[in-house]
């Protein structure tokens, strides 16, 4: 009896164990299946997150992909400027009255003399010696405005004016700047500054039929000086003219004052001398010659009066040589007053001991030299 009961209890325990084992295997297979179903979805989501966004896909007929609009970054508020007490500000103001003077030193034939130093120049401002603070020398391109008198006065003057102007082209170098202005009653800019000599020749080729018989030299000079006032460096005006003035608004004194105040040297080349040497002088020709000489001297240039066409090459050679080998001096006047008046300048050449400089040639013979510079300057007016 007891053995039957034991066998029945053991069988029941065996059935219960089998049922529990079947349930465990069922749930395990289901969990594994669910895990396998979820893993591809997570892996797919992760792959999608790692792939960069390339924007919208273009259609077949599209060639440009329009980028997605992005939101602008927020603008940070600007810091308000700090308030400063004006009473705590210290200001420093400086002013200088530097005067620049271009000086040429030539021999008696007009050829420039080089190899001079700063200590060889002595500058006087109204008779008071000045210390030269700025000094420069050396060859440099020239900047020249070629002014041509072209008025219907007398046909030989027209021929000479054009002939002399064309010869000037032979002394242009590739780095030189040249402009062309003609004048009768009014000045006309035929060619602005250029380094092309063919453009300069083309401007001169337009001078064939003059419009008026009046000559306004002083007005034309003032106009050209004003147009060149902002040009830096060495500059000059070469005027091919008779020296006559018949209808200018400016007087001779006013034109002379403008030439004094400018830093543009004027080099008149007279076409009147060619005629007067054959026909004689008159009061008008003498006045014209004196006017050209004075204007050139006050501006720091030089006037030339060729009697024959064969003299022109040497004249233009001297002008070009002087402009390319100038000495640039600068000083601050010891008199700082801004009175607006004219100050007379004088420049001497001295040796190391302060005596007058003696220049000799290769043979040891003393060379007579000439100092060419502007006559003075106008002080600024406060």
**With b meaning 16 or more CB within 10 Å and e meaning fewer, what string describes 67-94?**
eeeeeeeeeeeeeeeeeeeeeeeeeeee
Residue pointed to by tokens 């029941």: 12
C-alpha closest to that of 315 among 279, 255, 274: 274
The β-bridge relationship of strands 177-183 and 235-241 is unpaired
The pLDDT tens digits for 5-49 are: 445 555 555 555 556 555 545 444 554 445 444 444 444 444 444
At 232 the pLDDT is: 79
At 280 the pLDDT is: 86
176/320 Cα distance (integer angstroms):
10
Q: Which residues of the chain have pLDDT under 50?
A: 1-6, 24, 26-28, 31-33, 35-68, 84, 86, 89-94
The pLDDT tens digits for 321-360 are: 888 888 888 999 998 888 888 899 999 999 988 899 998 8
Token pair, residue 132, equals 């030269």
Three-state secondary structure along 259-304?
A: HHHCCCEEEEEECCHHHHHHHCCCHHHHHHHHHHHHHHHHHCCCCE
At 55 the pLDDT is: 42
In the chain, the N- to C-terminal Cα span, in Å, equals: 144
At 81 the pLDDT is: 54
Q: Which domains does the chain have, with CATH numbers?
A: 99-378 (3.40.50.410)
206/309 Cα distance (integer angstroms):
22
At 78 the pLDDT is: 58
Against a cut of 0.75, is the pTM above it? no
């Amino acid at each position: 009896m007891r053995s039957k009961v034991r066998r029945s209890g053991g069988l029941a325990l065996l059935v219960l164990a089998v049922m529990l084992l079947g349930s465990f295997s069922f749930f395990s297979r289901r969990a594994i299946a669910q895990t396998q179903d979820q893993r591809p979805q997570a892996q797919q989501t992760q792959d999608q997150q790692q792939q960069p966004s390339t924007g919208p896909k273009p259609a077949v007929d599209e060639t440009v992909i329009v980028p997605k609009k992005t939101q602008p970054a927020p603008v940070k508020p600007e810091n308000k400027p700090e308030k400063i007490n004006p009473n705590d500000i210290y200001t420093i103001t400086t002013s200088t009255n530097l005067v620049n003077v271009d000086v040429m030193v030539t021999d008696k034939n007009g050829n420039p003399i080089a190899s001079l130093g700063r200590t060889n120049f002595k500058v006087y401002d109204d008779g008071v010696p000045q210390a030269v603070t700025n000094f420069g020398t050396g060859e440099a391109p020239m900047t020249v405005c070629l002014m041509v008198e072209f008025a219907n006065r007398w046909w030989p003057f027209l021929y000479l004016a054009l002939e002399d102007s064309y010869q000037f082209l032979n002394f242009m170098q590739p780095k030189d700047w040249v402009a062309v202005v003609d004048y009768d009653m009014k000045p006309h800019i035929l060619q602005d500054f250029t380094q092309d000599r063919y453009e300069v020749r083309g401007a001169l080729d337009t001078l064939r039929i003059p419009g008026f018989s009046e000559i306004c030299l002083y007005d034309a000079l003032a106009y050209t000086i004003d147009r060149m006032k902002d040009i830096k460096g060495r500059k000059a005006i070469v005027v091919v003219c008779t020296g006559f003035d018949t209808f200018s608004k400016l007087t001779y004194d006013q034109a002379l004052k403008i030439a004094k105040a400018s830093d543009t040297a004027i080099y008149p080349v007279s076409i009147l001398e060619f005629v007067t040497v054959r026909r004689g002088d008159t009061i008008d020709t003498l006045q014209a010659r004196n006017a050209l000489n004075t204007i050139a001297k006050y501006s720091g240039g030089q006037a030339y009066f060729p009697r024959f066409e064969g003299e022109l090459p040497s004249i233009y050679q001297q002008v070009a040589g002087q402009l390319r080998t100038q000495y640039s001096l600068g000083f601050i006047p010891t008199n700082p007053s801004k009175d607006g008046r004219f100050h007379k300048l004088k420049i001497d050449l001295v040796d190391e001991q302060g005596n007058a400089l003696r220049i000799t040639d290769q043979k040891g013979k003393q060379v007579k030299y000439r100092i060419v510079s502007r006559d003075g300057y106008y002080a600024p007016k406060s």
